[in-house]
Structure 1
Amino acid sequence: MKLKFNQLVGALALSIFFFSCENSEPEQPLGAYEQGILIMNEGNFGTNDGEVYHLDPSTLTLKPNVFETENLRPFAGLLEDMVTVNGTLYLVANTGKVEIVDAGTFKSLGAVSGGLDQPRSLEVVGSKLFISDYGPYDASYNTPDSYVAVVDGLNGGMVTKKIEVSNKPEDLIAFGKYIFVAGSEEGKVEIIDADKEEVIKVLEVDGRPAQFFEIDGKVWLYSTGNDEVYFQSFHMDLTKATTNSLPVANATGRIAFGNDNLYYLITSTGWPEYQDGVSRVSVLGSELDLDWITGSGFYGIGYDKARNELYLANSNGFQGNGTVTVYDADGTEKRDFEVGRGPSGFLFY
């Protein structure tokens, strides 16, 4: 089971249910960091001070710098993604490494520290890690040599193969032995056979692919355009199924998955206005609230399904630490608190 950012609630409960049905042995107690909320702070370019904070939402106790506290060394990278798979947490840094920790204790289990350039996300199939990577910049700051790196070992090691894909691959999702790759720059979804370690199919999709998710066991893709967003689904035979487009302009690619098939999208006009917002939409229904929340500096988003609360991160222009504001299901502000530099994502247990 792979979970990233706000996808953790519900799936964790489901995994515990199936485990209890199949195994009569007593369940292992959850670790200190497998309860509550993990907050991913990207860090500042140049200082590479990315870190993870832990929040206990029942007591509002916030623990900063979890990686450094538990491993007695700084993370020393720019955090791009957090992916948890079967009790292991993968911290993907777009500064060329992946740190691997025990999800309960945050103690280091290993790393991928060689052969990567600008990793973006990660997926696990069997005993292999598949890591999307922009590849190196050329003289014009393009990324013509993007790839998905293969590492044979769940606790890291060296890159054993680089599978060429379209420019700027982002999110990954596994479907059986197949891995879907979101090619953000060229509007493609490439499908990798994990056994063969090669691309077996390329699908043209609408918009700029950003993130995969699931509805009722079917793979969906969230993509952004200039004046709309796209939600596209795929058949089990690895073909494109449906496309729903919604008139949401200036979407950034940041998305949170709420209850009742509601989705929360960060929008931003960018320079010079810097007018940001959160749109609330439904893929399967008629919900469309383009200005559900308005403001500036919005950088990360997540939804706590158990408590029905939206977490909205503000980078504060990377001038010092960021903040997180919590809203109820009606969009009413409940509280805010300071976190690390560039908060950009959440994992909810």
Structure 2
Amino acid sequence: MNKNLLNRSFIMGIYLAGSIFLSSCQDDDSGSTVTPPKGAYESGVLVVNEGNFQQGNGAISFIDKQNKTVVADVFLTENNRPLGDVVQSVTVNNDKAYVVVNNSNKIEIADANTFKSLGVINNLQLPRYMVVANNKGYVTEWVSFSGNGRVSVIDLATNTLTKTIAVGSLPEKLALVNNKVYVINSGGNTVSVINPTSDAVETTITVDASPNSLVVDANKKLWVLCGGEKNYNPDYSIDENTSKPGSLVRLNPTTNAVEATLTFTSKVLSPDDLVANGAGNKVYYQYGGKVYQQDISATTLTATPFINRNFYGIGVDPADNLIYGADAGGFAAGGKVVRFNPNGAAVDSFTVSVGPSEFVFK
């Protein structure tokens, strides 16, 4: 080959390689390097849509906050197959989305930024929620609708189930505090504390009846919302003489002691959907068909509703403190997500898939 032609080819190869490199890592007008996006769903809001029971139409919707656009079912869009029957929750860890599909007894794993499928964890028993600790997934499972449930431990490197831990009845949401996993047992009145080093229950904390949600505040204290105990008359009305009201309980994770119990007045109504703002100094919950805002320093429950509307679920964006309300609309068609500013005024709304219930903010 002609030497000059070889040199020109070599120089042209270097030029092209440099062009490719520069195009993949370009500078913006300020001179700083701009990192290319990881995928279309890298930044925004994931909406959990349960779907209709036994119809296999559960979905994860994606809201692009900047462009105010919605992809109603990102998993179906990217993989040409549905997620399954009753999408319960989603947990994002290390750019992977773990979608818990309750009635299909599985967890679908997808790239959190592209939502391309990465695998499936099968053979679970009515799974509900998941947290990650020590590179392991901890998944609550009802197992059945009566009796005690369990927490399954999943090796996230191999996506294999390594152990099951017996907990209380109908375990639901979990929280990670001080490298301990706290599990609320909604069918009773306890919180199980799991040590992720030994993968064993370290202690069990007694709270009020029917704990349904929990959050960690700015002081690393754990708040548990309890629905109360409902007993019924022969005509199925609530017997207020024997029933117990719900409560908002604050736990100290250092000592596992109950520090405060704020009790609701009604024995008929049940509070639920406890969430926190980005700073962790305010919590929100639903009660009597309305949304309430509670400062973590308050010693009594707030009496004034923050939003006079009932939702199937609520969330608070930690980036801008906008409150998100999930309106399932009777599960007849696509539900709605309504956003409110930090003062409680409605901002806008989006149509998502069937049965929106929870939010993950990315």
User: For the superposition of Structure 1 and Structure 2, which TM-score range results when normalised by the shorter chain?
Assistant: 0.7 to 0.9
Pair 229,28 (structure 1): closer, same or farther in 2 beyond 3 Å: farther
- CA offsets per residue over residues 177-216 of structure 1, 9 Å max, x none? 5321111121111122223322221111134322332224
1:256 aligns with 2:275: yes
Aligned partner of 1:235 among 253, 259, 278: 253
> If the length of structure 2 is used for normalisation, what is the TM-score?
0.78
Distance 2:111 2:102 in 1: 21
1:152 aligned residue: 155
| Count of residue pairs brought into register by the alignment | 309
Q: Which blocks of at least 5 consecutive residues in structure 1 are unaligned?
A: 1-24, 138-142, 269-275
Contact map agreement 1:210 1:221 (CA 8 A) in 2: no
- From the two aligned structures, give the one with the greater strand fraction: 1
2:15 aligned residue: none
Pair 28,218 (structure 1): closer, same or farther in 2 beyond 3 Å: farther
Distance 1:136 1:209 in 2: 18
Distance 2:151 2:53 in 1: 23
1:321 aligns with 2:352: no
Aligned partner of 1:292 among 306, 311, 332: 306
Aligned partner of 1:224 among 223, 226, 237: 226
Greater RCO, 1 or 2 (C-alpha within 8 Å, sep 6+): 1
Kindly report the root-mean-square deviation, in angstroms, between the aligned alpha carbons of the 2 structures.
2.4
Distance 1:93 1:210 in 2: 19
1:100 aligned residue: 109
Distance 2:120 2:221 in 1: 29
Deviation at 1:267, TM superposition (A): 2.3
1:174 aligned residue: 176
Contact map agreement 2:150 2:165 (CA 8 A) in 1: yes
Deviation at 1:30, TM superposition (A): 4.6
Distance 1:119 1:56 in 2: 28
- Name which of structure 1's ranges 329-338 and 50-59 shifts more when overlaid on structure 2: 329-338
2:8 aligned residue: none
Contact map agreement 1:301 1:346 (CA 8 A) in 2: yes
Q: Percent identity?
A: 28
Contact map agreement 1:209 1:221 (CA 8 A) in 2: no
Distance 1:59 1:197 in 2: 43
Contact map agreement 2:211 2:227 (CA 8 A) in 1: no
Distance 1:119 1:59 in 2: 34
Contact map agreement 1:280 1:289 (CA 8 A) in 2: no
Distance 1:282 1:299 in 2: 23
- Name which of structure 1's ranges 62-71 and 170-179 shifts more when overlaid on structure 2: 170-179
1:306 aligned residue: 319
Distance 2:138 2:342 in 1: 36
1:344 aligned residue: 357
Secondary structure, in 3 states, of the residue corresponding to 1:49?
Answer: coil
> If the length of structure 1 is used for normalisation, what is the TM-score?
0.80
Contact map agreement 1:129 1:154 (CA 8 A) in 2: no
Distance 1:221 1:322 in 2: 29
Q: Which blocks of at least 5 consecutive residues in structure 2 are unaligned?
A: 1-32, 229-244
1:185 aligned residue: 187
Distance 1:199 1:348 in 2: 30
Quick check: which has more Rg, 1 or 2? 2
Aligned partner of 1:331 among 331, 344, 347: 344
Distance 2:96 2:321 in 1: 26
Contact map agreement 1:111 1:155 (CA 8 A) in 2: no
- CA offsets per residue over residues 140-175 of structure 1, 9 Å max, x none? xxx214111122234523x33321111011112234
Q: Map 1:1-349; keep pairs closer than 5 Å.
A: 29-95=37-103, 96-114=105-123, 116-137=124-145, 143-154=146-157, 156-157=159-160, 159-216=161-218, 218-226=220-228, 227-237=245-255, 239-247=256-264, 249=266, 250-258=269-277, 261-268=281-288, 276-285=289-298, 288-296=302-310, 298-349=311-362
- CA offsets per residue over residues 289-338 of structure 1, 9 Å max, x none? 54222345x20111123333211111111122211112222222222222
Pair 76,327 (structure 1): closer, same or farther in 2 beyond 3 Å: same
Residue identity matched to 2:333:
G
Distance 1:348 1:329 in 2: 16
Secondary structure, in 3 states, of the residue corresponding to 1:165?
Answer: strand
Distance 1:233 1:94 in 2: 29
Pair 153,218 (structure 1): closer, same or farther in 2 beyond 3 Å: same
Deviation at 1:129, TM superposition (A): 1.9
Deviation at 1:39, TM superposition (A): 1.1
- CA offsets per residue over residues 243-276 of structure 1, 9 Å max, x none? 24153753442123225622221224xxxxxxx2
Secondary structure, in 3 states, of the residue corresponding to 1:292?
Answer: coil
Contact map agreement 1:119 1:131 (CA 8 A) in 2: yes
Pair 334,311 (structure 1): closer, same or farther in 2 beyond 3 Å: same
Contact map agreement 2:58 2:86 (CA 8 A) in 1: yes
